[in-house]
Amino acid sequence: MYKFTQMATENSADKQLVLVTGALGFIGSCLALDLLRSGKYRVAICDDLSADRKLPNIEGAIFEHVIERSQLISVLEIGGLPEIDLILHIGARTDTTEFDKTIFDELNLNYSKAIWKICVDRKIPLVYASSASTYGAGELGYKDDHAIIATLKPLNPYGDSKNDFDKWVLQQEMTPPHWYGLKFFNVYGPNELHKSRMASVIFHAFNQLNETGKVKLFRSHRNDFEDGKQLRDFIYVKDVIQVIEWLINRYPISGIYNLGTGKARTFYDLATATAAAMEIPLHVEWIDIPSDIRDKYQYFTEADMHKLRAAGYNHTFYTLEDGISDYTRNYLLVHKNY
């Protein structure tokens, strides 16, 4: 049984208290742990604490406050946790195979609206997780321009919920003192074991190679793409964390920003890098894209990163090969969490 430790940190009154939602999940847990280990912040976390499969992600960590997801809004609305200086709202229902819109309305849209309003009332800066799924099939490109957000057409209820919140945010006259919506592209890295089928392709490629010696890749059903040459913008979770920490230290112009590498890579590149990191030969098993998703399958995504760069972010991103090598050798092969 995994347990959390909740403890006020000594001699830390001068440190900002940061609340991370979704802190048991993949990105949220890595972010909360990184902030904690930096020694620069006091960290409070919020999530569904009954989700046992996620508990190993932050086992042994000591946080200032641990809050059940269902209780957070009521706690904050009555003035609880008055010392919160910043909210990083990473929590969301992220299952793209779920088609019950009411679930996304409750957990992604309305929950996020409530957090936004609290940040406005209490003048708390806010960073929240949007998604590249808002771009749909990419008919309008992948530019994080506020002017096109209302016209985007996501391909599933998850993407709709994220875009609905983005649209709502842009209609608000009252805003937090600083706010950032981050359109995450294809994030991979440690602490995603609990995501099962929704884990990154790198995670699945590693397990397939480890168990069968082969990796399954989709054939192409379009004449303009070769098998396995479908493209995605894969970004390592350590880069995601670095961008978020840069934002909360610099506070550039508020807005919605893409968060990818700006460089699309093929699934074949991904499989090659994974096999190389495992030091085994690559064998591919080609499979058809399932017929029920074939008409909605994306063949290309690539974040336009000019907006974040123009805001002053000048760090380099992990290459796909370097990110997969670090993830595979320092986490997957040695069964280590972040």
Q: Which residues form the catalytic set? A: 158, 195
| Amino acid residing at 70 | S
Relative orientation angle of helices 69-77 and 111-122, to the nearest 10 degrees: 30
CB 77 within 8 A of CB 12: no
CA separation, residue 133 to residues 111, 220, 332 (Å): 19, 21, 27
78 by Cβ neighbours in 10 Å (0-12 / 13-18 / 19+) ranks as exposed
The whole-angstrom distance between residue 159's C-alpha and the CA centroid of its chain comes to: 13
The whole-angstrom distance between residue 178's C-alpha and the CA centroid of its chain comes to: 20
CA–CA separation, 140 and 150 (whole Å): 11
DSSP label of 3? -
